Amino acid sequence: MKQPTSPADYLSVWFSNYEPSDKLLHTRLAFLMSLLFLYTALAVEKSRTWFSLDLPFDSPIFVNIFILLSILSFSYLGYIYRDNLFNTNVNVLITLLCFYIIFKFIEGTINFIFFSANWDVIWVNRRMIAVGPYFTSHGEEIARLWPAVYMMAILLGCGYGSLGEKQKNFLIPFTLFAFCLVLGATYNIRPEGTNSGHYDYTLTLQRLLFTFFLAYASFLFTHQRYKNAEEYEVKFFHQILSAGAVLAFILILYFLDRTVDGEEGVSPGEWGGLFLNFILASAAIVLGFGVGVILAFGRRSPLPLFSWPSTAIIETVRSGPLVAWLFIAYILLPDVLMPVWDADRVSRTILILSLFSGCYLAEILRGGIQAVPAGQREAALSLGLSDNQTNMLIILPQAVRVTMPAIVSNMIGLWKDTSLIHLLGIHDAFQVAKVLPAQWEFTGLYPEALLFVGMIFWIVSFYLSKISQRIERNLGLRNESGGEMT
């Protein structure tokens, strides 16, 4: 074997033998360094500011240097995974092409987000995006929303505290989330009287801090109480939390629509923004799960009295697109429900979303029910359990366990489907995003408004996906190796 005699030879030997001890850590660091160098290059070229700090240089030489450093950092990713990316000539060409496309996409994204976009359309209208036009123009009514936020914070803290995990797994992400909320509520407040960009952020900040206190306190108390508790105690507490969540939803509707000091409450037709999307998704997920369970067992029933109507409902609803059913809820459903219930358009939308989601969920659960071994039912019946007890206590839990990924995918799809209600003129987040660029000082700023709302939907969907992965790990449904780890 030839001995190295020059610095180049030593580098060649080192690179051929070097293997990162923690590939995932090196991947994250290399990617972040590439983003940082690329941002710095664009900052030198575009604005001579680096995260609001003035840069003392603007020479094209520095731009090229930082771009080169970014490319080198990005190339290190290819070196880490060279055995898979550069093992054949075809893979080399595909890898280089993909790296170029990804690099240019990231460059364009950074350029748009930090240098080209005008985000004042978001900061000025942050309240309208969050709660809709009515609560923005009637600022005194926003107080009705805060009890809902307080109850959600308590439920969130109690839910995470009862999982028995390390405290840092909740405290660190939630603290970052709290910081982002505080920043979003207080950043770039405009002088009073200019436009809707002004509001009393001190009261909002106080309420946010109280919300964070409730979340932290409920988490720490629950974690201390249940970290060494028996499994049956934790399950019983989770049942209490589930009942509390349903009760909280009812109380939210009460606080919003109740009469205060002789003034009528805020009807559902006036709700809007992301708040309305959350309400629709939460209600439709809960009600849709109940509808799905009933239809799944109904379709498998040996009695035609139950199986035929269940099959007809499932196939009829699944045969039409959700948009068509939403227009049916908007146009035809009032005449159908009028003799019994004068339902507003938000309530009708919840009914249609629940039915639509429930029909798809019924087919998912039916597949899970069929996957349960027949011996499970026979064993339950031999122990003296009734048919209903067998279905609810033996069959359904196993079916849910098997189909958990598909169930969560259905929930994520339902959350994203709530954006379709803007077609009915309801002021949800996407409808607000479409209206904002009509303001005279933000004319034509559609990309900023739509991209921001789209990112909110993506973040919530990603969070639901991570919850699904956590549940799958706890149920032993994931083998974290090979492709799944990737």
Does residue 199 sit in the same domain as residue 69? no
Q: Would 301 be classed as within a structural domain?
A: yes
Q: Would 396 be classed as within a structural domain?
A: yes
Q: Would 316 be classed as within a structural domain?
A: yes
| Cβ atoms of 95 and 79 closer than 8 Å | no
Q: What six digits make up the tokens of 388?
A: 């209903």
Encode pLDDT of 49-102 as tens digits: 666 666 666 667 777 888 888 888 888 888 788 778 887 888 889 988 998 998
Domain count for the chain: 2
Does residue 105 sit in the same domain as residue 159? no
Q: What's the confidence (pLDDT) of residue 57?
A: 61
Does residue 98 sit in the same domain as residue 140? no
| Cβ atoms of 343 and 268 closer than 8 Å | no
Does residue 154 sit in the same domain as residue 105? no
Q: Would 481 be classed as within a structural domain?
A: no
Q: What's the confidence (pLDDT) of residue 453?
A: 93
Query: Which of 347 and 289 is assigned the larger pLDDT?
Result: 289
Does residue 173 sit in the same domain as residue 108? no
Does residue 96 sit in the same domain as residue 202? no
Does residue 297 sit in the same domain as residue 378? yes
* CATH code assigned at 275: 1.10.3720.10
Q: What six digits make up the tokens of 447?
A: 């990309």
Structural domain for 26, as ranges: 7-116
Please tell me the least confidently modeled range out of 108-117, 312-321, 375-384, 473-482: 473-482
Dihedral of alpha carbons 293, 298, 300, 301, sign: positive
| Residue 309 scores a pLDDT above 50 | yes
Residues with Cβ within 8 Å of 37's Cβ and at least 6 positions away in sequence, in order, are 66, 67, 69, 70, 73
| Residue 3 scores a pLDDT above 90 | no
Q: Which conformational region is residue 337 in: left (phi greater than 0), alpha (psi within -120 to 50 degrees), or beta?
A: alpha
| Residue 338 scores a pLDDT above 90 | no
Does residue 69 sit in the same domain as residue 133? no
Residues with Cβ within 8 Å of 473's Cβ and at least 6 positions away in sequence, in order, are 480
Q: What's the confidence (pLDDT) of residue 77?
A: 81
Q: Would 134 be classed as within a structural domain?
A: yes
Three-class secondary structure assignment of 218-253: HHHHHHHHHCCCCHHHHHHHHHHHHHHHHHHHHHHH
- Final residue of a structural domain among 116, 137, 159: 116
Q: What's the confidence (pLDDT) of residue 477?
A: 67
Does residue 175 sit in the same domain as residue 321? yes
Residues with Cβ within 8 Å of 262's Cβ and at least 6 positions away in sequence, in order, are none
| Residue 5 scores a pLDDT above 70 | no
Does residue 111 sit in the same domain as residue 137? no
Please tell me the least confidently modeled range out of 198-202, 217-221, 280-284, 315-319: 198-202
- Final residue of a structural domain among 90, 116, 142: 116
Does residue 392 sit in the same domain as residue 445? yes
Q: Would 240 be classed as within a structural domain?
A: yes
Q: Would 401 be classed as within a structural domain?
A: yes
| Residue 126 scores a pLDDT above 60 | yes
* DSSP letter for each residue of 316-384: HHHTS-HHHHHHHHHHTHHHHHTTT----HHHHHHHHHHHHHHHHHHHHHHHHHHHS-HHHHHHHHHTT
Q: Which of 352-356, 378-382, 424-428 has the highest mean pLDDT?
A: 352-356
Query: Of 460, 336, 432, which Cα lies nearest the Cα of 137?
Result: 432
- Final residue of a structural domain among 70, 99, 116: 116
Mean pLDDT within 390-416: 90
Q: Would 485 be classed as within a structural domain?
A: no
Q: Is the pTM of this model over 0.85?
A: no
Does residue 269 sit in the same domain as residue 403? yes
State how far the alpha carbon of 320 is from the alpha carbons of 116, 141, 163, 329, 412, in Å. 41, 38, 40, 13, 20
How far is 30 from 44, CA to CA, in rounded Å?
21
Q: What's the confidence (pLDDT) of residue 260?
A: 62
